[in-house]
Chain A
């Protein structure tokens, strides 16, 4: 069974640009969560989707948005990038809800110059 796949693996953008990250969960998993990880802050929860609906949202500005498609694949978008958005963005999937074990992808390393 394939694991959680995130693309792209690395991304370099400049301030003011926007970016879209993609996540394909494990086959059969319907819950997808997104996290931002920085060295000083650890993992910060962005949002969680289940059956195309956002179930929970973290404390991030509206520049961060996401969506989930009918095949459970998910995308997150960051508009008007800031230097502080440089981070590792991780996607995690679970069968039905994050109460269960989370399976993480390898992440997308975003650098904003």
Chain B
């Protein structure tokens, strides 16, 4: 079954600290993996899109890694800020002919406290 699992479910860190969010997937065949940030009451905003051949991709203080062999991805946030408080969602695109659906994880809820 095509699934995306994220951990932890929620996380609380202090401002200025680093953190790493995990994403494991069983989606096959794989097309790409995306990380989205969703603020409360808003729509998700794309952070990164990674294809099979990409191991690391950065967007400012956000760095995503992908290990296609173990089907794992991580999102590392450096020097966290209060504005990083949000839900972070991992999404994997299935690539099976005409079936190119997105498989969404449930997200990790991050709270950054002063």
Contacts and interface: CB of A to CB of B under 8 A. Distances in A.
B45 A104 contact: yes
B92 interface: no
B100 interface: yes
Interface in A51-97: 56, 90-92, 97
A93 to B, nearest CB: 11
Contacts of A103: 46
Nearest to B91: A43
A43 B41 contact: no
A25 interface: no
Contacts of B45: 104
Given A101-B46, A106-B43, A42 B101 contact: no
A38 to B, nearest CB: 10
Contacts of A105: 43
Interface in A8-62: 41-45, 56
B43 A104 contact: yes
A70 B102 CA distance: 26
Interface string B76-110: 00000000000001000100000011101111000
